[in-house]
Structure 1
Amino acid sequence: MAFTLASGAHAQTEVEFWHAFSGNNGEAVDELAARFNESQDDIEIRPVYTGNYTEGTQRLQAAIAGNTAPGLVMLEVTRYGLFAERDALASLEPYIDASGEEFTDRIRPFALEASKYLGESYVLPFNVSTPVMYFNKDAFREAGLDPENPPETWDELLAAAKTLTLREDGDVRQWGLNTPPQWVRWAMTNQAGGGWVDPTDNSIQIDMPESIRAYQTAADWVNVDEVASLDAAIDEDVADQYFLSGRAAIDFTSTGSLTGRLEQADFDLGVAPLPCDTQCAAPIGGATLGIVANAPQDVQDAAWEFIEFVTTPENNAFIFAQTGYLPIIKGALETERAQDLIEANPQYLTANEQLEVAFARARPPAMPAIRSEEPAVWQSIVLEEETAEEALTAFAETMRSMMATN
């Protein structure tokens, strides 16, 4: 453990905090840590960006193996089970018990439940989201579509995308939509009546006919309906660029991107719930905070103090306002900061209202590996190397093997 001198008075406990936020969201983490550090003299939180959720998970695995892990980590909600299962995270139950019911009562139940592994708290929620549909209201108006009534079903989405796809001399000037990123593909399988992994018993669902239909539908938007770009379908960064530059009229991603998109978009930005199929469904996303089990006890205790600090209404409202992630602490929405934000930008309530159809995803130890494998499966489908049935049938067997191994 490293120490720094605090005003020459006594040793200060330093806690390295590995997180996955960059850009605007990373600035919010830095600001929150600075506020905590300024609020007391005994602890210094040092935020360190370690890449996106997948990269951060891989880096933490290597650090734990090499005994170089930090004290505090951010872990995406479907990936922390791997570390909890292997005792790499400290149980938070003693801290929670010591803090009393007042602490847990202030966390909204859906967020608290999404942060449990086999009924025990190894992490606590930090940023919670659902994916939403972003759309270019100016493009809707130019195409004769009503931007105040965006598509609510897959059929309506396809119809709008056909109208929004603009071609000139055989070239596409504007794509109707971007195909969905991974967790929205997950949403589509649930909307169709299938899924990826059943969270109640960890049974594999991705080879169900309903799940196969969802994947094939998304791929057909590229290859059959020709309303979505293949380049954007296989590279989520390209999809993001296409939407913000006006080359795609509809996009799907986290509500946690809302603040950044409001700043970056030079068009009238629309936000709506995900279009539905046989049912509406939106996965709960975001990340949690966990304490590394082999960190020195004083570092663990200091990390907990920071967790308590961020789970207050005022600080949760700050994260909500700075990023767009959902307010998960009771009272956060009622703060002046949150109310001012909502009055100026009602779009911030879209994801909050979508919580009525939100679902928590399975988080077995194999899930990080499963999620790392899925993009190649999707690519084989959208490149028409395999049908969705062929690719997902094979992937389901791979998933079963991975679940058994882990």
Structure 2
Amino acid sequence: MRKWNTVMLTTVVGMSLLAGCGGNNGGTEGASGAADAGQTASDNKQTSAPDGKKTELTFYYPIAVGGPLTATIEAMTQEFEAAHPDIKVTPVYTGSYADTAVKTQAGVQAKQPPDVAVLQSTELFSLLDMNAIIPLDDFVQKEGGEQYLSDFYPAFLANSQTEGHTYSIPFQRSTIVLYYNKDMFKEAGLDPEKGPENWEQLQEYAVKLNKDGRFGLEIPVTGFAYWMMQTFALQNGDNLMTSDGKKVMFDTPENVEGLQYWVDLAAKYKAIPEGATDWSTVPSDFLEGKTAMMYHTTGNLTNVKKNATFDFGVSFLPAKKQYGSPTGGGNFYIFKDISAEKQQAAWEFVKFMTECERAAQWSIDTGYIAVRKSAYETDQMKKYAEEFPAALVARDQLQYAAAELSTHNNGKVMKILSDSIQAALTGDLTPTEALKKAQGEADQALASFNK
């Protein structure tokens, strides 16, 4: 039997907000101003089109985790429309984060962007380079300014802000956590109530748990190699880039040591698969008993909870010099080449989707971290966390988290690093060679931003 009994709370449809949700005391409902329009109003009439027709929004969103989240997004959208009858939102599932970025970029270039979209938080500098998004400062100010923003976790805002401006609002956010099979821990003589706490223990546990037909550990590579590399960088030193997105620090001795550790888990200790393990394969392998532990996003927590036929645990990623994980996931962006009326309506939608009660329910339904501190003070989250304490692990790890890799020319820089990591994991390059190569190519890709 699994230790965690699935106790699903009501869906977001029809859910009313509790009074006292944090972060809204500084402003009134609906009294926010469009960044480029400077308009204000006190009720939903502000979003109506001049001829009385509904303001229509196109909303792009990705899904990067297991589970039927399309229905959840559509239910939340319907709830918004019920509360805002003058706004019509068309949610468009646009595939993976990468697919969504490509479709959004194509729309921007064609002067037909979505009105609002959830894109990776790391897209900030790329979107700014395209002159695609608006700053949200005026909207935020009329919601209470710093008081409003202070309810969002600082680690998530790190990818939302630059040069004193806020350009996106956190939504489906995560850290990487360690999932482990408690039954397999018991079988191997390991404490099933504690995951490995440091790199030495992780290697020791992975070897003990390894057996024919099962790996001790799986770390996904394809699609998110750079993200996994950040775990080793943060645990052994510092982040991979500067906060202004103009420089990277790939080939430091600490990062070479981290990549060598990752390579050795496969090549030397045979405890993880060699080569490039696919992102989506890892949770399937975990659920099927093909791996005893996995590194993966907390956004898969609810999927694992619903589908695991065994007792499992969730813990911080093991430390080297310190604990550490990059944040991950997507933020809401509002686009520039749309009318002021649509920008205002889009802000109402963003604000609604990230209210504390809704953030709490989204976390319960998905496993993503509720992005607002006040969400953890809601009754449904308190009840859920009491019944399923693993839901708090990723939230608690935020104190050791840092911004996900984000730079100008971001897609190219990410690919450079990911390709080099894969070359090291397949044995084509040594970790030193791989990161030196990545550093040189990334420096060249960023050269025009450092003149």
TM-score by length of 2: 0.83
Cα distance, 1:97 vs. partner? Answer: 2.1
- Residues 244/306 of structure 1: CA separation in 2 closer, same or farther (3 Å cut): same
Question: Using the alignment, how far apart are the partners of 1:235 and 1:134 within structure 2?
Answer: 17
Report the equivalent of 1:211. Answer: 255
Matching residue of 2:161: 116
Count of residues in correspondence between the two structures: 393
Where does residue 184 of structure 1 map in the other structure?
Answer: 228
Partner residue of 2:204? Answer: 159
Alignment of 1:1-400 (within 5 A): 10-21=52-63, 23-101=67-145, 103-167=148-212, 173-181=213-221, 182=225, 183-199=227-243, 202-230=246-274, 233-361=276-404, 363-400=406-443
- Pairwise CA distance, 1:57: 1.4
CA contact (8 A) 1:134 1:252 kept: yes
Higher helix proportion, which one? 1
Q: 1:204 to 1:220 in 2, by over 3 A?
A: same
Contact 2:156 2:403 in 1 (8 A): no
In structure 2, stretches of 5+ residues that fail to align are 1-47
Q: Tell me the secondary structure at the aligned position of residue 374 of structure 2.
A: coil
Shift of 1:82: 0.9
Q: Secondary structure of the residue that 1:284 maps to in structure 2?
A: strand
Pairwise CA distance, 1:314: 1.0
Per the alignment, do residues 375 and 62 of structure 1 end up closer, same or farther by CA in structure 2, a change over 3 Å counting?
same
Tell me: CA distance 1:19–1:110, structure 2 relative to 1, closer, same or farther (3 Å).
Answer: same
Letter in 2 for 1:235: D
CA deviations over 1:119-165 (Å, ceiling 9, x no partner): 21111111221110011111111222111121011110010011100
Alignment CA distance shift 1:147-1:117 (3 Å): same
| Partner Cα separation in structure 1 for residue 263 and residue 106 of structure 2 | 35
Secondary structure of the corresponding residue to residue 166 of structure 1: coil
Q: Compute the TM-score of the two structures, normalised by the length of structure 1.
A: 0.91
The worse-fitting range, judged by mean Cα deviation, of 72-81 and 131-140 is 72-81
Structure 2 CA distance for aligned equivalents of residues 161 and 260 of structure 1: 23
Which deviates more from structure 2 when the two are superposed, residues 238-247 or residues 69-78? Answer: 238-247
Deviation at 1:218, TM superposition (A): 0.8
Q: Deviations over 1:43-101 (max 9, x none)?
A: 12221111222221122112211222210011212222211233210111121223333
Q: What do you get for the CA RMSD once the two structures are aligned? A: 2.0
More strand by share: 1
**What amino acid is the match of 2:217?**
L
Contact 2:247 2:407 in 1 (8 A): no
